Amino acid sequence: MSTGTPNMDALAIEAVRSVVLRTGLLLDGHDLTGWLALFESDGVYELRAYSSEIRQWMTWWLATRGELEKTLSEVVQHVCDPAQRCHVIGAPVVTQQGDKALAVSPFSIFRTLPDGVSSLYMVGHYEDTLAVREGVWRISRRTVITDTRVLDMFTHIPV
Amino acid sequence: MITQAAPHIPATHYLDNRIFTDPAVFAEERDKLLGKVWQFVCHESEVAGPGDYRSTQIAGKPILIVRGQDLTVRAFYNICRHRAAEVVRKDSGNAESFTCFYHHWDYGLDGKLRSVAKPAGYEAVKLDKSELGLIAVRCEVLGGLVFACLDESTPGLREFLGDVTVGFLVQLGTVPLEVFHFHKAVLKTNWKLWQDNNSERYHSMLHASNRISLPWVMGKTSPMKLRIFPHGHSGYWTDGEVAKVDYSRGGYEGIIGGALPGMRDSEMRVINLFPDLMINIRSNVVRLDRMVPLEAGVTLVEWRGLGVKGDSAEQRAIRLKHHNLFWGPTGRNLPEDVIAVESQFRSMCADGVRHSILAREEDLNPTDDANLRAYYKEWARMMGRAASDIEVSA
């Protein structure tokens, strides 16, 4: 299969894809520490959406890894949505960007309430920039573009 | 059958929970209340230039807000005079005129009917286009807030608001503001429960971030005081000693600077306009909550974040960070508020507990319930029903 990334070998592409796909598993498993570990120390997380009402792009969440660590450490103090989430991440398309990799992946998140009722929670795509250090790929920036703007439940937890 | 007796406190200090759950009460609210009062519909920055428009609803009726070539902001029923299709079907946009998609009747930005398709067919009845413009709705702008009112007999906006405007006119009306954040959600709750949540400070202990950063809420006294105004409006703020939000205790950084006119760094104030608008100002950023009640237990809530028009990128980033820290769909506070009001409504529908208690009296400290009592006094006046018992006339 053509990857469109002639300068990245197949192993590197698979490694990048693996990082992207693991983000969903870790979030679904409430392993926020493990999720954070996939970011570089100066990594950035951003959640963006376009509003047709005010006709402009918005940033709903922008945080460095340090800020994320603080927020996520306090999740236990919050009253949170009791639903279980399930990320379904489509195959990331990986391209080389200088010495980094850009992975674009469609995603959907399903939400299942404690009584077993499931519903679609969010649809969008990830734009992940990853860097490799000492043979390990980590996310230097994750931009979440959500198409879904009317959420059934708001969230303290990254998507 | 519920057997609970009313609590042994004054009837002004409790509510009949059926005012939130009864579909008949909701239908009555649309006629007697939501269709009568001035309601915030959008910020003027959303219709900044000629031809800019927004569509929305008031009391279940489709409404169009548009800025004309003369820069006046007007409101109309968003209903074609021909066969009652919605003339505008998008949330917002810019138009030179509005052509109904169904049969192509075309209206100017001033609402006048400009042309009809195949006009020869109307010659026999001498159709008078001047009688068939979009039906105007009363519309006024104050402090950048655009209000509309469906009822011709309601007093003017300034009379309706009265002195509550002292709480926000300097902050919102001195320098041009603009909306940088908009999101909405359909909450499974009654619209008044969201307004209650926005009005009462007693629930601050729900929020982890408030428990840390709002020591004056947890204490017995506060420099902030409730302000009660006629027509159900209220607010809380301080005129003297600063009731600071202690962001440093929460370790929250990078959010101070660029305070709005009339505000000090780390200061906050909240104004609640009857029946459904909250203006929440945290020093350098504004949150507006507006509601579109859809059913007794279904409420569309719109949240707006406002900053100063022409902000530098650095200043806007500070306001945005401050806004998103507490508000927005990923803020620290908002998710918890939604969980609370939806939980309330589910329980109220079960009708196991008939009454809600609004009995805190604390010398108008922010956790006093006096503003809620004033709100429901006005609600009862307009509805002609006692809020404490829907089977009793007010």
Structure token pair of residue B175: 């320098």
**Structure confidence at residue A3 (pLDDT):** 47
Give per-residue pLDDT as tens, B321-380.
Answer: 999 999 999 998 999 999 999 999 999 999 889 999 999 999 998 889 999 999 999 999
Residue B213 lies in a domain: yes
Mutual angle of helices B370-383 and B191-199, in 10-degree steps:
150
Same-domain status, B263 and B349: yes
CA–CA dist A96, B86 (Å, integer): 49
Same-domain status, B101 and B214: no
Closest residue in chain B to residue A63, using alpha carbons only? B321
CA B318 to chain centre: 25
Cβ–Cβ gap B92/A74 under 8 Å: no
Alpha carbon distance, N-terminus to C-terminus of chain A: 30
Residue A151 lies in a domain: no
From B54, B333, B364, B58, select the one nearest B209 (Cα to Cα).
B333
**Structure confidence at residue B2 (pLDDT):** 56
Q: What is the largest CA-CA distance in chain A?
A: 49
Contacts of A144 in chain B (CB under 8 A): none
Give per-residue pLDDT as tens, B201-217.
Answer: 889 888 888 888 876 66
Give per-residue pLDDT as tens, A102-120.
Answer: 999 999 999 999 999 999 9
Structure token pair of residue A18: 């693996």
Mutual angle of helices B191-199 and B334-350, in 10-degree steps:
130
Provide the strand spans (E) within chain A.
39-51, 56-64, 84-89, 93-97, 100-112, 118-133, 136-146
CA–CA dist A60, B148 (Å, integer): 29
**Structure confidence at residue B219 (pLDDT):** 61
**Tokens 């940088």 identify what position?**
B180
Same-domain status, B62 and B109: yes
Q: Provide DSSP, B115-184.
A: E-SSGGGGGGGT--GGG-SPPEEEEEEETTEEEEES-TTSPPHHHHHGGGGGGTHHHHHSS-EEEEEEEE
Domain containing A30 equals 10-146
Give the mutation candidate from B88, B94, B178, B183 for the A interface (greatest A CB count, under 10 A): B183
Residue B91 lies in a domain: yes
**Tokens 């994750």 identify what position?**
A142
Same-domain status, B66 and B214: no
Q: Which CATH number belongs to the domain containing residue B300 in this structure?
A: 3.90.380.10
Number of CB pairs, chain A paired with chain B, less than 8 A apart: 83
Residue A156 lies in a domain: no
Taking 70 as the pLDDT cut, the residues of chain B under it are 1-3, 215-221, 243
How many separate domains does chain A show?
A: 1
CB-CB contact of B164 with B233 (8 Å) = yes
Closest residue in chain B to residue A58, using alpha carbons only? B181
Residue B151 lies in a domain: no
Give the mutation candidate from B44, B182, B194, B333 for the A interface (greatest A CB count, under 10 A): B182
CA–CA dist B330, B140 (Å, integer): 33
Residue B379 lies in a domain: yes
Q: Which residues of B316-327 are buried (b: 16+ CB within 10 A; e: fewer)?
A: bebbbbbbbbbb
Provide the pairing of β-strand A136-146 with A39-51: parallel
**Structure confidence at residue B228 (pLDDT):** 97
Q: Which CATH number belongs to the domain containing residue A26 in this structure?
A: 3.10.450.50
Cβ–Cβ gap B185/A47 under 8 Å: no
Same-domain status, B66 and B15: no
Cβ–Cβ gap B93/A77 under 8 Å: no
CB-CB contact of A95 with A4 (8 Å) = yes
Give per-residue pLDDT as tens, A33-53.
Answer: 999 999 999 999 999 999 999
CB-CB contact of B69 with B34 (8 Å) = no
In what side-by-side order are the strands of the sheet with B145-149?
Answer: B39-43, B145-149, B136-142, B73-77, B61-67, B52-58, B92-94
Same-domain status, B206 and B321: yes
Q: What is the ipTM of this complex?
A: 0.93
Residue A37 lies in a domain: yes
CB-CB contact of B243 with B283 (8 Å) = no
Residue A157 lies in a domain: no
Contacts of B91 in chain A (CB under 8 A): 52-53
Residue B19 lies in a domain: yes
Question: B222 or A156: which carries more pLDDT confidence?
Answer: A156
Residue A20 lies in a domain: yes
CB-CB contact of A137 with A41 (8 Å) = no
Structure token pair of residue A20: 């992207």
Contacts of A71 in chain B (CB under 8 A): 332
Closest residue in chain A to residue B304, using alpha carbons only? A54
CA–CA dist B238, B66 (Å, integer): 36
pLDDT more than 70, % of chain A:
96
Closest residue in chain A to residue B254, using alpha carbons only? A67
CA–CA dist A33, B119 (Å, integer): 69
Residue A155 lies in a domain: no
Cβ-in-10-Å burial (0-12, 13-18, 19+) of B78 comes to buried
**Structure confidence at residue B250 (pLDDT):** 82
Residue A1 lies in a domain: no
Same-domain status, B136 and B268: no
Same-domain status, B123 and B139: yes
Domain containing B202 equals 11-36+176-393
Same-domain status, B22 and B96: no
How many separate domains does chain B show?
A: 2
Domain finish residue from B129, B144, B159: B144
Q: Which CATH number belongs to the domain containing residue B46 in this structure?
A: 2.102.10.10
Same-domain status, B340 and B235: yes
**Structure confidence at residue B244 (pLDDT):** 74
Is A55 an interface residue toward B (CB < 8 Å)?
yes
**Structure confidence at residue B243 (pLDDT):** 67
Is residue A2's pLDDT more than 50?
Answer: no
Residue B170 lies in a domain: no
Q: Report chain B residues touching chain A, CB-CB < 8 A.
A: 46, 54, 90-93, 179-186, 206-208, 251, 302, 320-321, 324, 328-332, 334-336, 338-340
**Structure confidence at residue B238 (pLDDT):** 86
Read off the DSSP letter of residue B214.
-
Residue A76 lies in a domain: yes
Closest chain A C-alpha to B128 CA, distance in angstroms = 35
Contacts of B321 in chain A (CB under 8 A): 62
The residues with which B270 forms a beta bridge, in sequence order, are B236, B280
Residue B2 lies in a domain: no
